[in-house]
Structure 1
Amino acid sequence: MALFDKFGKLAQERAALVQAGLNPFGTRIDEVFSPTEGRIGEWRVVLAGTNNYLGLTFDPECIEAARQALEHEGTGTTGSRMASGSYGSHVALEAELADFFGRRSAIVFSTGYLANLGVISTLAGPGDIVLLDADCHASIYDACKLGGAQVIRFRHNDVADLERRMLRLGEPARNALILVEGIYSMLGDQAPLKEIVEVKRRLGGYLLVDEAHSVGVLGAHGRGLAEELGVESDVDIVLGTFSKSLGAIGGFAVSHHPEMELLRYASRPYIFTASSSPSSIASVRAALRTMRARPELRERLWSNARRLYQGLAGLGYRVGPQPSPVVPVLLGSSEEGVAFWQRLVEHGVYVNLVPPLAAPGGQALVRCSVSAAHTPEQIDHIIQAFASLRASFDGVIAKA
């Protein structure tokens, strides 16, 4: 078999998508007018699939900070953090993140994916055990594969299943790494973190929480689910990203364990990757200041999230298990999902299409993500677009 023959089926599926019209897995947003509006081809759309939770991508202070960094530090570092790519601004951001989370130290990575890859694969190697929620993000699975640890999955948000598996492990469970997320990116539901912490207190283990979708979203100060539930001291490591609430690109890890600093000398995704550009770091620092100073952004986000969740549920759509800035709508087959997604674009709404292979439950879904920058009128426009499609797609809408 030739090298590229393995992609034959994928090529056929892609060709079918292109022939049908817009490709939902390679959409080109031709113009971006604001955090919530853009143009796809001939359609002006409300952007409701961007994870721009606090709407900071066009924040004047973030843009000005990035502009100044470009002028004074250039377009990139052209080196890894261990070589020539650790600037004063990288170190300053790490200090600010550690202060924000109340942790001993922070490590900044070039992307959120690399943060997961770099921390998890380095901590959990051959001979170690990882217990992870079955619905964890692909980057967490990739990290476990790279590290070579023994991986034990427990059923999504099923604390009893986690406990059974830890009891079966016996003494080795005391050194296992438990991996969960604050808000899960597909269904928008939250980890039962209090209950998981209780299991950890009794049976041991180290708890790592990926707060990528919950930083800036949950907690009195926006530190995520652990803050929301009052269990921060029981979480050993928090991972997160700058590409959601903080409106840029990059990732981070924070911890109170002094040994975490040794990852800088052992983590290959940290050592051998070019560091974030100065402009990106500067905009993140400005966004972090804004997030801390403006809790009303979080309040506006949740007002919009509840408005959309309740509106879509009221139309009879099957949505996620709880209100969240991530609002999924479960559909049928991949083909039906593509058709539904295409019609939404034509009605002026851009969301994400998730095919059955990547969606929990094996059904296609469209995934809306809400922003504090959305106006009530834009939220109502999204609801009206779904209402317009309700009758014609009634047969493909997943039933509870």
Structure 2
Amino acid sequence: MKSEISTPLIGYMKQLESEGITDIETIAEHLYDHHTRQIGLGLYSNGRYTQSGSDVQTNVISDANTPAKECILWCINHYLGLNRNQKIIDKVCQAVQEYGTGCGTSALSGGMSKLHKQVEQKLKDLVGKESVLLFPTGYTTNMGCLAALPGKNDLVIFDRESHASLIDGVKLSGKKWISFKHNDLEDLDKKLEKYNKKYENIFVVVESAYSMSGDLAPLKEITELKQKHKFLIYVDEAHTFGFYGKNGAGYCNELGITEQVDFIVATLSKATASIGGFVATKAKYIPLLQWRANTYTFQACLPPGDAAAVLGCLEEIENNPQLVESLHENNRYMREKLTHLGFDLGSSQSPIIPVFIEDKDKLLSFNRELFERGIFSVSIFYPVVKLSEGRIRFILSASHTKEQIDKTVDALYQLAIKHEIFDSAIYPVWQ
């Protein structure tokens, strides 16, 4: 079985299946051999790991035989850098002393503590909904809620760039579903018009900011479609909760549309530097979700230390608005520099900046050489994104310094010239 060494594992697996190879042991052997050769050539960054945990700058290990390399990290979703905040670390240690290290069972089986209830109350007050249900992870929040909510005669319409947790939940529901073109209001409107009278309920599922492209959803305009069509809207605020809206309440809050959104969900592993997820909605939906969302009913509660971290982070966000200001200033600063130099950033707006490089081989070489220069991020390409939309993604943090941004932008520019990412006749001059 031959393959291009640069073929990503998921693409290689599809290639094997297309050639009639279905035996799991044979597939595993092919993938292991392919992956081992890729690691040896340094083509992919998914085997690298940090020596001492996530930070904006830390040592990164490629393999056991290679010395760790100090790198600026651009692939971590700790937008506000609160995972290294000493006050929060102290709160976590105190909670572990008081509540222990784990809950041992699900919420419905006695795993909840006073600490978990405090988190739910804090999130309810912040987001501005009648009730909040706390889940062990953000992924299982989406998977459980979207598997539980649609009824027998319902339809789910989701944005084509939706996160895997949303799509998995929709598919797990076993109900009818279709997608609409990414952030395309006209396409969504047409589908709502076409299907509105054919189903009891329609759920429209979107994200406030999309993790691969960094663009914001037209949430206000989507909610305005409710004036024409009957539907329920489900918004995942994973990449906006904590740094948009008042005290980090989210993008729905910033746009003033919280009342119009039926279900607001978010993960707690990003801006709030912990783990877990939640859904904020009307009180009447809570019993339904508690008993129909298997990821709530049968999954152990998040550990007390993580619950304490969430509370500590929300307190820091409320008391130190400069954290959010620093994040958005870093986003503006890096984005302006890259745009001035001629990089293609797509339609991104949020603190996720994708640098698009269409040619896969150039993209892989580009990313490997960035790592050699002490800059660590990940390359994203087909089949995760379209063939023409390969990219390296840079996730901003409030903890990134201007010097780190300058070093990264300078390296990107030098490598873009080397690999002829720009049109040689028009590429800009560094100033």
**What letter is aligned with 2:39?**
V
Distance 1:360 1:260, change over 3 A: farther
Matched, 1:357 2:383: yes
5+ residue gaps in structure 2? 1-21, 62-67, 427-431
Task: Find the counterpart in structure 2 of residue 40 from structure 1.
Answer: 60
> Would the aligned equivalents of 1:239 and 1:252 in 2 still touch at CA under 8 Å?
yes
Give distance in 2, aligned partners of 1:393 and 1:312: 16
The structure with the largest alpha-carbon Rg is: 2
Query: What secondary structure, in the 3-state scheme, does the structure 1 residue paired with 2:365 have?
Result: helix
5+ residue gaps in structure 1? none
Aligned length: 397
Q: Aligned ranges for residues 358-397 of structure 1 at < 5 Å?
A: 358-360=384-386, 362-395=388-421
Q: Aligned ranges for residues 217-232 of structure 1 at < 5 Å?
A: 217-232=243-258
Distance 1:335 1:266, change over 3 A: same
Task: Find the counterpart in structure 1 of residue 164 from structure 2.
Answer: 138
Task: Find the counterpart in structure 2 of residue 323 from structure 1.
Answer: 349
More displaced stretch, 300-309 vs 347-356: 347-356
> Would the aligned equivalents of 1:167 and 1:173 in 2 still touch at CA under 8 Å?
no
Deviation at 1:175, TM superposition (A): 1.6
Task: Find the counterpart in structure 1 of residue 269 from structure 2.
Answer: 243
TM-score, L = length of structure 2: 0.87
Task: Find the counterpart in structure 2 of residue 27 from structure 1.
Answer: 48
Matched, 1:305 2:305: no
Matched, 1:281 2:307: yes
Task: Find the counterpart in structure 2 of residue 342 from structure 1.
Answer: 368
Query: What secondary structure, in the 3-state scheme, does the structure 1 residue paired with 2:179 have?
Result: strand
Deviation at 1:67, TM superposition (A): 0.3
**What letter is aligned with 2:323?**
L
Query: What secondary structure, in the 3-state scheme, does the structure 1 residue paired with 2:311 have?
Result: helix
> Would the aligned equivalents of 1:154 and 1:162 in 2 still touch at CA under 8 Å?
yes
Deviation at 1:16, TM superposition (A): 3.1
Give distance in 1, aligned partners of 2:361 and 2:138: 31
Distance 1:29 1:23, change over 3 A: farther
Query: What secondary structure, in the 3-state scheme, does the structure 2 residue paired with 1:207 have?
Result: strand
**What letter is aligned with 1:63?**
I
> Runs of 4 or more off by more than 6 Å in structure 1?
none
Give distance in 2, aligned partners of 1:12 and 1:192: 44
Task: Find the counterpart in structure 1 of residue 26 from structure 2.
Answer: 5
> Would the aligned equivalents of 1:173 and 1:204 in 2 still touch at CA under 8 Å?
no
Give distance in 1, aligned partners of 2:213 and 2:30: 28
Give distance in 1, aligned partners of 2:184 and 2:58: 40
Query: What secondary structure, in the 3-state scheme, does the structure 2 residue paired with 1:221 have?
Result: helix
**What letter is aligned with 1:38?**
T
Deviation at 1:262, TM superposition (A): 2.6
Task: Find the counterpart in structure 1 of residue 15 from structure 2.
Answer: none
Task: Find the counterpart in structure 1 of residue 234 from structure 2.
Answer: 208
TM-score, L = length of structure 1: 0.94
Query: What secondary structure, in the 3-state scheme, does the structure 1 residue paired with 2:107 have?
Result: coil
Query: What secondary structure, in the 3-state scheme, does the structure 1 residue paired with 2:177 have?
Result: strand
> Would the aligned equivalents of 1:265 and 1:271 in 2 still touch at CA under 8 Å?
yes
Give distance in 1, aligned partners of 2:358 and 2:135: 37
Distance 1:11 1:362, change over 3 A: farther
Distance 1:229 1:125, change over 3 A: same
What is the root-mean-square deviation of aligned Cα atoms in Å?
2.0
